Amino acid sequence: MRFELTPRPTISPVMRTLAPVAAFVTAFLIAGLVIWLMGRSPIAAFQVYVSQPLSDPWALQELLVKATPLALIAIGLSYCFRANFWNIGAEGQYVMGAILGSWLALKTHGTDAGFWVMPAMLVLGIMGGALYGLIPAFLKTRFGVNEILTSLMLVYVAQLVLDYLVRGPWRDPKGFNFPQSVTFDPAATLPLLGEGSRVHYGTIFALVAVLVTAIVLGRTLFGYRLKLTGDAPRAARFAGFNAKRTTMAVFAISGGLAGLAGISEVSGQIGQLQPSISPGYGFTAITVAFLGRLNPIGILVASLVVALTFIGGESAQILLKLPLDLTQAFQGILLLCVLSADALVSHRIRFVTRGGRK
């Protein structure tokens, strides 16, 4: 006996809408079972993971803070993934954006350089990420090197460069030998949205990126070019779309948005450079992009959901002594459930037995 997935002749729109809901319920049930097996109450865990963060104003702000880099990076990645290019190196592009942007912050530190510093840092951040993203694109178009390997390996290069800088040339001389830079001047700090808020302008950038991307992917020839390149590369060539240029463009956009996320996080959230400036946003954003089905609005929602698991995971670690790894496991379960639900909407499972039918 074997299973077969056969495509459904028609896809019901109701099922299509309900699929993510069913996926979430299933993911929560599986996670609940795991937590129960670990000897904790699934109900309490649900409260810590979901109910508390959503009812606490501080946690809601934290949710936006965490969702911001995820959304920015995932939106960028959606350009690559739509065109069927596998940029796994957003984490490195994020770090490089942060480094290049911070260079200006450190250069102007202690001077009375004016308001132009912050916008210039953002531009440098975008450039840093974009140029770093273009390396795998160039290697792919020029030499045919697989972009999955190069983009992933460049993550480690970027992380080690950052490590070197904050332990070496960029270390704060008055920082008691801690591996960190000086704290950025106010002119080099991304403003917060309102007094006493923790949410910075990066959130606005993310929302703008979502809206612009929704228009670009849905309404422009460039968006169609990406879709066609991803779905039918020969047809894209037939349409006259230059494959090399497409590759370069999507990696530059994807890297640029990751770089913007990096410099926003450093200048708006952390306030200085340190060896670790990301809890793996660049990798988690891959999950976010697919949870959101590469749709800009979907990515926005997915970034909030995944940010929630980050916050809930931290609280669960403190309150229930649940390991932080469980959060990552849950993110994985969630992605698996969403992808399975999508597959089941468009396909049905058939059991085939040898020698007879059904």
Kindly tell me which of 36 and 351 has the beta carbon lying closer to other proteins.
351
Closest separation in Å from C-beta 20 to other proteins: 21
Kindly tell me which of 130 and 217 has the beta carbon lying closer to other proteins.
217
Kindly tell me which of 46 and 222 has the beta carbon lying closer to other proteins.
222
Kindly tell me which of 213 and 264 has the beta carbon lying closer to other proteins.
213
Q: Which of residues 289-328 bind other proteins (CB under 8 A)?
A: none
Beta bridge partners of 2: 352
Q: Which of residues 215-274 bind other proteins (CB under 8 A)?
A: 219-224, 227-228, 231-232, 234-235, 237-240, 242
Cα–Cα distance, 222 to 140 (Å, whole number): 21
**Considering the rule CB under 8 A, would residue 174 count as an interface residue with other proteins?**
no
8-state DSSP, 186: G
Per DSSP, the three-state class of 7 is: strand
Contact with other proteins (CB under 8 A): which of 142, 174, 321, 357?
357
Q: Which of residues 2-61 bind other proteins (CB under 8 A)?
A: 9-10
Closest separation in Å from C-beta 5 to other proteins: 14
Q: In three state form, how does the secondary structure of 324-353 look?
A: CHHHHHHHHHHHHHHHHHHHHHHEEEEEEC
Closest separation in Å from C-beta 71 to other proteins: 25
Query: How would you label 305-322 residue by residue, b for 16+ Cβ within 10 Å and e otherwise?
Result: bbbbbbbbbbbbbeebeb
Closest separation in Å from C-beta 231 to other proteins: 5
Cα–Cα distance, 210 to 327 (Å, whole number): 26
Closest separation in Å from C-beta 107 to other proteins: 37
Cα–Cα distance, 229 to 83 (Å, whole number): 5
Contact with other proteins (CB under 8 A): which of 142, 174, 321, 354?
354
- Tell me the number of residues near other proteins by CB under 8 A: 25
Closest separation in Å from C-beta 357 to other proteins: 6
Closest separation in Å from C-beta 336 to other proteins: 23
**Using CB under 8 A, which of the segments 81-89, 122-130, 195-203, 348-356 binds other proteins?**
348-356
Kindly tell me which of 52 and 242 has the beta carbon lying closer to other proteins.
242
Cα–Cα distance, 280 to 262 (Å, whole number): 11
Closest separation in Å from C-beta 240 to other proteins: 3
Dihedral over Cα of 176, 178, 179, 184: its sign = negative
Kindly tell me which of 174 and 234 has the beta carbon lying closer to other proteins.
234
Per DSSP, the three-state class of 173 is: coil
Per DSSP, the three-state class of 40 is: coil
Long-range Cβ contact pairs of 19-26 (< 8 A, separation 24 or more): 19/338, 19/341, 19/342, 19/344, 19/345, 20/338, 20/341, 22/341, 23/334, 23/337, 23/338, 23/340, 23/341, 24/334, 24/337, 26/337, 26/341
Name the residues that contact other proteins, by CB under 8 A: 9-10, 219-224, 227-228, 231-232, 234-235, 237-240, 242, 352-357
